[in-house]
Chain A
Amino acid sequence: MNLLSVSNLHVNFHMKEQELAALIDVSFTLNRGERIAIVGESGAGKSILGFSIVNLIGKPGYIKSGSIKLESKEITKMNLRQLQEVRGKRIAMIFQDPMMTLNPVLTIGDQLVETIRSHTKISYKDARNIAIEKLHHVQIASPEKRFNQYPHELSGGMRQRVIIASVLLLNPDIIIADEPTTALDVTIQAEILQLLLTICRDNGVALVLISHDLGVVSKVAERTLVMYAGHVVEEGPTLEIINDPQHPYTQGLLNALPQMTLPGQRLNQIQGSMPSLAERPTGCAFHPRCPYATQKCRQEQPKFIYSGVSSVACFLVEDMLNEFANNDKEIS
């Protein structure tokens, strides 16, 4: 059985004048110990997807339909008590900005101990030992000293390590990391990614990495979902997606990276920008920016199909596949 399976998830925002759809028909599965990445520009719905997995979407957003199953338990139907059992203990989350995640008026130690003791009944002393062990685990030097320090006394990379330690306290099955290295420098980013990777590998923890940096994703994730305007537009093994992107949006994202053009030449930009939720175009949401858009793309929403490399929602790929199939028929 899959550890986590999200199927046909729709998330809406209930605004004064209209209903805005933030996620449309999103499905994916996650196996035990698997590392997947969710990629897309800002506004694609990556973070909303991350939040909805633990049912953390606040008003005016709500899960309209679809199911999120953790093994056999349905997360969308849980009450607050059941959710608290899942959050942190089964599914833990790492947020983008380590300064915002840690409470500035409590010491690192207090926050870690509080996390353990709110989920399990153990003494302060035992909790402290676990906390220090985990701090040691994330390669923080002199954890006993750090235990009594406040977040502002630590650097950005150190804070993100503390957060990873706090996530590990309850031995979760899944870690959702929402842009965990965006606020950090390259050298620190490399260290934190390496740390996340080894922790997931060693403990068999599944990872959902939300990122807009395809370079980061290629280092960590086995499978990648590309999102655009609330839809998953492409899904497949990370290496395949990077080496042979099928969807024009994925191609555009990859081609826009500075590494993909010779130094000094113009970069290949994707024209235009991501539409806001209220201005989502009809048909394939990507068609106004797509160089290959046809009349069909403007009117109909493409279905998700398997192309042999990855699963793609694009008429261009669909037509190509149909053509191949017809050719095969003619030959035989």
Chain B
Amino acid sequence: MPIPLIQISGLEKAFSSNESWLSQWRFRHGKFKKHKDSIHALNGVNLTIHQGETLCVVGETGCGKSTLARVIMGLTTPSAGEIHYLDQRIDQLNNRQRMFFRRRMQMVFQNPYASLNPRMTVYQTLSEPISFHNPQLSQSQVDEKIDALLESVGISALSSDRYPHEFSGGQRQRISLARALSVEPDFIVADEPLSALDVSVQAQVLNLMMDKQEERNLSYLFITHDLAVVEHFATRVAVMYLGRICELAPTETLFQSPKHPYTQALLSAIPRLDSNTAQPIRLIGEVPTPTEKPIGCVFQARCPYANQRCYETSPPMTLQSDGSSVACHAIEEGRL
């Protein structure tokens, strides 16, 4: 029985798009009216991440993947909803209370060129979190730990005095991973960690992430839009669209029998090497910007199977016979 590590329920996040007080006033029908635009990035996300698993979140740009990651990590506060780490609620902690959880949960960012401080040597980058979270360690113990960490991610300990610009993209991403691992977390959020890297380097980083997972029983929340990586790496996959999860399934089930119309379109669009794959299912239009809180199904505007009910009520996640959960009226009604 898998143990749930992170539990998320009803998570919502809206960003206000006009910050200044003056720009909130609109002149309409001869009157000034106060009006606040907001972007609804997350619209009720429910998700459980089990210990030792890799949960991949996939979706197009603007679907709220990165916001989800940042909210879980406490980098932005949610507008509504709850996040639990084991049995403790962590979404409304202040900085001091959160300290303990910062050690348990770490993040690897998308662009290794931007996420490492260019003015700090690799040694400084790694020693800061270690000595901050373990003040009892002596200098030599910290040094020892850094050397071991660097070796474990395949970077020579001799190069710890070098600066980030002296490393290649893949090496930098491995240093980012070493930094995340330095405080011995049991949960790592990786926000598109491979998208800035070449295919062969991607393989290096992905292998390293899998090795570390095996060694330390890590759980990953892996955010990506590269479905080939997902198929290889994920235990379960969550497909996101406009701030909601529309399908959640074990990887094999999802790739063999995608159910949600969006998942089907997404999977058919992967450029594969074998030439006899079917034509991609074309979606009409692009992801809309969610300025209004969506009523009904989030996918209705691009869905070929949408009917009146899809425009009016939001479909709940329903468990299917093969272990996947899908939020779609068409499937529920047997139209698909």
Contact = CB atoms under 8 A, between A and B. Distances in A.
Interface of A: 41-42, 155-158, 185-191, 193-194, 212-216, 218-219, 239, 242, 252-254, 256-259, 261, 263-264, 266-270, 273
Interface in B259-278: 265-266, 268-273, 275
A242 B202 CA distance: 19
Interface stretch (B68-76, B108-116, B222-230, B324-332): B222-230
Interface of B: 60-61, 168-171, 198-204, 206-207, 210-211, 225-229, 231-233, 251-252, 265-266, 268-273, 275, 280, 282-283, 286-287
A187 B266 contact: yes
B203 A268 contact: yes
Nearest to B60: A185
Contact of B271 (A41, A188, A219, A253): A219
7 contacts: A41-B198, A190-B269, A218-B275, A264-B210, A269-B203, A269-B204, A273-B201
Given A186-B60, A258-B231, 10 more contacts: A41-B198, A41-B199, A187-B266, A190-B268, A256-B199, A256-B200, A258-B229, A263-B251, A267-B207, A273-B170
A219 B272 CA distance: 8
A258 B280 CA distance: 20
Nearest to B270: A186
Interface hub of B211, B228, B233 (most chain A Cβ within 10 A): B228
Contacts of B266: 186-187
B280 A267 contact: no
A158 B285 CA distance: 10
Contacts of A186: 60, 225-227, 266, 269-271
A218 B60 contact: no
B232 A264 contact: yes
Contacts of B198: 41-42, 212
Contacts of A252: 200
B200 A218 contact: no
Given A157-B286, A258-B233, A267-B207, A190 B271 contact: yes
Contacts of B200: 41, 252-253, 256, 269-270, 273
B203 A242 contact: no
B273 A253 contact: no
Contact of B273 (A187, A194, A218, A269): A218
Contact of A185 (B61, B203, B280): B61
A218 B203 contact: no
A218 B277 CA distance: 11
Kindly name the residue among B231, B233, B269 whose own CB sees the greatest number of chain A CB atoms within 10 A: B269
B272 A215 contact: yes
Nearest to A40: B198
Nearest to A258: B232
Contacts of B252: 263
B204 A156 contact: no
Contacts of A254: 273
B152 to A, nearest CB: 16
Contacts of B231: 258-259, 263
A194 B61 CA distance: 20
Contact of B286 (A188, A216, A257): A188
Nearest to B272: A215
Given A42-B198, A186-B225, A267-B232, A259 B203 contact: no
A294 B152 CA distance: 30
Contacts of B199: 41, 212-214, 253, 256-257
The 7 closest A-B pairs by CB, nearest first: A215-B271, A258-B232, A269-B203, A267-B203, A190-B269, A256-B203, A185-B60
Contacts of A190: 268-269, 271, 280
